[in-house]
């Protein structure tokens, strides 16, 4: 009996030691897998861009595009508004970050084209600032778009975004390419059902920088 009892005690002690070791190992792994990355986008206020009635034909008055962005570790959220006056499936918001990290926006960077229909497809930044879209089958994108006839569009976009059949590597992951210091962004909006007048452009774009601080 004594031998059996001692064996149980040894087993208990071994179990406790094993569990303690496992807990320490888990804590170390979690610490290294998810290091604290408190990075902030500066300024934190909205980025606001406007085009008067003569330079665009998206709306009859001034067209205003706003962007808000924030980071949670590498998870980037972008909320954009555009005061377009009529919904169209193919109206789009385009975003380009410096994904090839060469310090500026160029045609080698990943173009993120986001249709008002919540769909997306592979796209390209064209030299005149707007996007070209591939003929591939569109997929549900990372954006949730609402349209209000009095205010226009709100695009809420969460990154990273994974292509539905390729869940191992993110398709759009602009948060991963951001660097401490200054980062460039290209933003465009295209009004696919803009009124057909000779006034201004149906698509507009702008480039700006923001600072990322630790």
Query: What DSSP line would sit under the chain, residue for residue?
Result: -HHHHHHHHHHHHHHHHHHHHHHHHHHHHHHHHS-----EEES-S-EEEEE-TTTBSSSSS-EEEEEEEEEETTEEEEEEEE--SS--TT-EEEEEE-TT-SSS--TTSPEEEEETTSEE--EEE-TTSSEEE-SSPPEE-SEEEEEETTTEEEEEEESSB--TT--SS-SB-HHHH--SEEEEEEEEEE-TT----SSSBSEEEEEEEEEEE-
Considering beta carbons, is residue 11 or 87 the nearer one to Ca ion? 87
Q: Which stretch binds Ca ion (CB under 5 A): 32-40, 44-52, 79-87, 155-163?
A: 79-87
110 binds Ca ion (CB under 5 A): no
Beta carbon of residue 119, minimum distance to Ca ion (angstroms, whole number): 16
Beta carbon of residue 102, minimum distance to Ca ion (angstroms, whole number): 4
84 binds Ca ion (CB under 5 A): yes
Per-residue interface string for the shown chain with Ca ion, residues 171-200, x marking contact by CB under 5 A: --------------------x-xx------
Interacting residues with Ca ion between 135 and 174 (CB under 5 A): none
Per-residue interface string for the shown chain with Ca ion, residues 43-72, x marking contact by CB under 5 A: ---------------x--------------
Beta carbon of residue 41, minimum distance to Ca ion (angstroms, whole number): 18
Considering beta carbons, is residue 72 or 211 the nearer one to Ca ion? 211
Name the strands in the sheet holding 111-115, side by side, starting at the edge strand that comes first in the sequence: 40-42, 203-213, 181-190, 92-97, 111-115, 123-125, 131-133
Considering beta carbons, is residue 97 or 161 the nearer one to Ca ion? 97
- How many angstroms from the chain centroid is the CA of residue 123? 15
- Given 98, 142, 152, 189, the residue binding Ca ion (CB under 5 A): 98
- Given 55, 100, 117, 206, the residue binding Ca ion (CB under 5 A): 100
Residues that bind Ca ion (CB under 5 A): 58, 84-86, 88, 91, 98, 100, 102, 106, 109, 191, 193-194
């Amino acid at each position: 009996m004594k031998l059996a009892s001692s064996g149980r005690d040894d087993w208990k002690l071994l179990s406790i030691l094993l569990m303690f070791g496992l807990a320490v190992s888990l804590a170390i792994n979690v610490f290294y897998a998810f290091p604290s990355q408190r990075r902030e986008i500066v300024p934190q206020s909205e980025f606001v861009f406007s085009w008067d009635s003569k330079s665009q034909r998206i709306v009859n008055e001034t067209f205003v595009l706003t962007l808000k962005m924030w980071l949670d570790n590498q998870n980037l959220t972008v909320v954009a508004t555009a005061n377009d006056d009529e919904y169209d499936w193919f109206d789009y918001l385009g975003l380009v970050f410096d994904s090839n990290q060469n310090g500026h926006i160029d045609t080698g960077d990943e173009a993120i084209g986001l249709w008002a229909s919540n769909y997306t497809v592979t796209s390209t930044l064209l030299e005149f600032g707007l996007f070209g879209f591939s003929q591939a089958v569109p997929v549900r994108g990372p954006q949730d778009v609402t349209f209000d006839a009095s205010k226009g569009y709100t695009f809420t976009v969460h990154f990273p975004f994974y292509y539905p059949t390729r869940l191992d590597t993110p398709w759009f992951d602009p948060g991963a390419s951001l660097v401490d210091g200054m980062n460039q962004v290209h933003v465009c909006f295209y009004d696919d059902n803009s009124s057909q007048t000779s006034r201004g452009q149906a698509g507009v774009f702008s480039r700006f920088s923001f600072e990322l601080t630790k």
